[in-house]
């Protein structure tokens, strides 16, 4: 049964304020002279009443510019936009600078997609809103706080496939190279998580993690210089017989840098050293050799998130999942080969 249309008179009666005040706040909340508390009460109640309407036809995508500078952010966005268009839903990108209460009071929002859990981190009281609509939070780490249903890509399956492939190719000295100090707590926790998944995948393949090599270099984002010398020192720290024959890098950019340093050191890639990155960015196709990569299905994450927003009635309250995990995969290219 369709809910009745949002009625400003009803809001005024429920809050015991004048209909004129309600009208002014909803029409122009920034310029209305009503107190902050009154605006908040009006916008929250209007949001709640509007979201109860079955005619809600808009998916809001909360993101910031920094996320959209990366391949994964754009892929999630394109997947979500495509699925919304297929379902006949409007799609609107919003930013943390905009007031969510105002937006929800003035939009027929079916639900909210959040591109990173940090944008609605419950530890941030300014963003700790009791939102009256469906929420799907993307790009979730295993232990990160989030709102609504998490749409996550766990790298374990792709990592397991990568190590399995290395073993099939005869590699026994497998290393993970990441960053020891990154520019944000979010990035630091991500490098810890990928190291943990690397160890879990090794164990699943019957390899003792203590027999593997984990090497962390400083984050290149912290200073203008790159870390080629650190990569070179790492490769030189082994005799030829003890040097890793296979490396999984924290991301594709680091894999690209390792390849360049290895080639300058006279190490043939992939004949002497096989390398796999993570994220499957366009860079992988443009490198020489092209880079094999563990590929999270970012576009699929966006599509699934819109499906969740569109029809949350897929589950009852008792069996609604807190997390939906999208499998990662291994994309093989020229950077891996059988060991000599």
pLDDT of residue 336: 97
Residue 53 has pLDDT above 80, yes or no: no
Q: Which residues of 25-40 are buried (b: 16+ CB within 10 A; e: fewer)?
A: bbeebeebebeeebbe
Label residue 299 by pLDDT band (50, 70, 90).
very high
Residues 157 and 198 sit within 8 Å (Cβ to Cβ): no
Say whether pLDDT at 315 is over 70: no
Question: How much is the pTM?
Answer: 0.76
Q: Summarize the confidence of residues 263-283 as an average pLDDT.
A: 95
Enter the tokens of residue 8.
């400003």
Give the model confidence (pLDDT) of 11-51 as tens digits: 888 888 888 888 888 777 766 778 888 887 887 777 666 55
Instruction: Check if CATH label 3.40.50.2300 holds for domain 156-296.
Output: yes
Dig out the tokens for 107 from the structure: 């939009």
Please state whether beta strands 134-138 and 109-114 pair in parallel, antiparallel, or not at all (unpaired).
parallel
Interatomic CA distance for residues 246 and 255, integer angstroms: 11
CATH of 56-153+297-328 given 3.40.50.300, 3.40.50.2300, 1.10.1040.10, 3.30.450.20:
3.40.50.2300
322: pLDDT strictly greater than 70: yes
Strands 292-296 and 328-331: antiparallel
What's the rounded Cα separation, in Å, for the pair 257 and 231?
8
- Taking Cα atoms as reference points, which of 245, 175, 264, 246 lies closest to residue 217? 175
Q: Which residues contact 84 (CB under 8 A, 6 or more apart)?
A: 59, 90, 91, 306
Distance CA(52)–CA(108), nearest Å, equals: 9
Using only C-alpha atoms, the chain has a radius of gyration, in whole angstroms, of 24
| Percent of the chain's residues with pLDDT above 70 | 81
User: Residue 163 half-sphere exposure, CB side, CA atoms within 13 Å?
Assistant: 24
Cα–Cα distance measured from residue 327 to residue 158, given in angstroms and rounded to the nearest whole number = 8
Q: What's the pLDDT score for residue 185?
A: 56
Q: Which residues pair with 237 in a beta bridge?
A: none
Per-residue tokens: 125: 């009281």
- For the chain, residues classed under CATH 3.40.50.2300 are 56-153+297-328, 156-296
Residue-wise pLDDT for 87-114, tens only, equals 889 999 998 888 777 777 777 788 888 8
**What is the predicted pLDDT for the residue at 72?**
86
**Mind listing the pLDDT tens digit for each residue in 182-225?**
555 555 677 888 899 999 999 999 999 888 888 888 765 554 45
157 Cβ contact list (under 8 Å, min separation 6): 327, 328, 329
């Amino acid at each position: 049964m369709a809910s009745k249309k949002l009625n400003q008179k009803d809001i005024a009666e429920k809050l015991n304020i004048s209909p004129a005040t309600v009208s002014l706040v909803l029409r122009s909340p920034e310029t209305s002279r009503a107190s902050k508390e009154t605006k908040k009460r009006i916008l929250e109640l209007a949001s709640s009443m509007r979201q109860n309407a079955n005619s809600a036809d808009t998916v809001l995508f909360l993101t910031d510019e920094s996320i959209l500078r990366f391949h994964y952010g754009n892929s999630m966005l394109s997947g979500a936009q495509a699925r919304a268009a297929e379902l006949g839903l409007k799609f609107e990108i919003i930013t943390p600078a905009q007031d969510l209460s105002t937006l929800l009071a003035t939009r027929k929002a079916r639900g909210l997609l959040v591109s990173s859990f940090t944008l609605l981190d419950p530890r941030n009281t300014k963003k700790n809103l009791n939102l009256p609509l469906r929420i799907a939070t993307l790009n979730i780490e295993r232990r990160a706080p989030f709102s609504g249903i998490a749409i996550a890509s766990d790298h374990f399956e792709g990592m397991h496939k990568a190590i399995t492939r290395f073993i099939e190719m005869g590699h026994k000295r497998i290393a993970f190279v990441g960053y020891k100090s990154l520019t944000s707590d979010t990035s630091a926790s991500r490098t810890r998580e990928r190291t943990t998944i690397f160890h879990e995948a090794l164990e699943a393949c019957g390899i003792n993690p203590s027999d593997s090599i984990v090497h962390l270099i400083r984050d290149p984002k912290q200073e203008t210089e790159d870390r080629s010398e650190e990569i070179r020192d790492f490769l030189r720290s082994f005799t030829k017989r003890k040097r890793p024959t296979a490396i999984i890098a924290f991301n594709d950019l680091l894999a690209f840098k390792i390849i360049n340093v290895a080639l300058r050191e006279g190490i043939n890639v992939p004949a002497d050293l096989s390398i796999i990155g993570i994220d499957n960015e366009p860079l992988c196709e443009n490198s020489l050799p092209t880079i094999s990569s563990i590929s999270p299905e970012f576009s699929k994450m966006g599509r699934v998130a819109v499906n969740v927003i569109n029809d949350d009635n897929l589950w009852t309250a008792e069996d609604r999942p807190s997390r939906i995990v999208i499998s990662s995969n291994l994309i093989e290219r020229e950077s891996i080969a059988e060991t000599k």
